[in-house]
Amino acid sequence: ETGVTQTPRHLVMGMTNKKSLKCEQHLGHNAMYWYKQSAKKPLELMFVYNFKEQTENNSVPSRFSPECPNSSHLFLHLHTLQPEDSALYLCASSPLSSTDTQYFGPGTRLTVL
Amino acid sequence: AQSVTQLGSHVSVSEGALVLLRCNYSSSVPPYLFWYVQYPNQGLQLLLKYTTGATLVKGINGFEAEFKKSETSFHLTKPSAHMSDAAEYFCAVSDFNAGNMLTFGGGTRLMVKP
C-alpha cells in the first residue's frame, strides 16, 4: 500500500464526454502531481500543486483541468478529449524538498474512443 | 536544463545473472538521482536514491547503484536476477534548483528468462 489511491482504475470515454479522475493521499504530504504515461514515451509531468497552489503547468491542453481542494485530494477534470489522450494517468505525492521521494498511485488507464 | 538517458529500452537476462541497467544524466548543478520500478498495472515505487554522501547506494530487493560524477552516470545493478525482478525501471534526476520536480528517463523494461 503506497498511501496514494486513484479512482477509477479504468475509464473509457467518448470524445464529447466529461469525466473526472480522483487522487487521494494519506501520507500527510504537501505536494501532489499529475503525470501522463503513454506507450513508448517518457513519463510526462502535467501539473504540480504545492500547498494546494498550482506551481507547474507543463503546457498541458486546456481540455485537462486540475483541481486541488486540499492537500490530500487532487482531481483531473477531462472534457472533449482526443484519442491521443489515451494513456495511464498517474498521481503522486511528496513532501516539498527536491530530495524527497515521490509516492505514486496505481494510475487510471484512460481510453478515449 | 536536466535530462536523463537510459540506454536500452529492453534488457533481457537469465535468472541468476547480473542485472545492469544504465542511466546517464545531465545537470548543471549537483544532482539528486532516483531509480523507480513499475510492476505491471501498478504505479512507480522507489528502489533507491542518491542525494549526498556515499556514492554507492543500496536499495530494496538487492539492488544498488553508484553515482559517478566523472561519468555522469547512475547505473543500477543486482548481482543475481530473480523472476520477480521483471518490470520497468525508471531513472530520474532532480536538483536544488528544480525544487520538487523530477525529470524521468524513458525507462528500461527488464525481462528475466528462466
Per-residue pLDDT tens digits for A78-106: 999 999 999 999 999 999 887 889 999 99
Which A positions 3-62 lie with beta carbon below 8 A of chain B? 4, 31, 41-43, 45, 48, 50, 55-56
Cβ within 8 Å of residue B89, ≥6 positions away = B6, B21, B35, B36, B37, B38, B47, B76, B107, B108, B109, B110
Tally of helices (H runs) and strands (E runs) in chain B: 0, 12
Q: What is the pLDDT along chain B (114 residues), one digit of tens a residue?
A: 789 999 999 999 999 999 999 999 998 888 999 999 999 889 999 999 999 999 999 999 999 999 999 999 999 999 999 999 999 999 999 988 887 889 999 999 999 999
Cβ contact, residue pair B94, A98, below 8 Å: yes
Set of chain A residues whose Cβ sits within 8 Å of the Cβ of B98 = 98
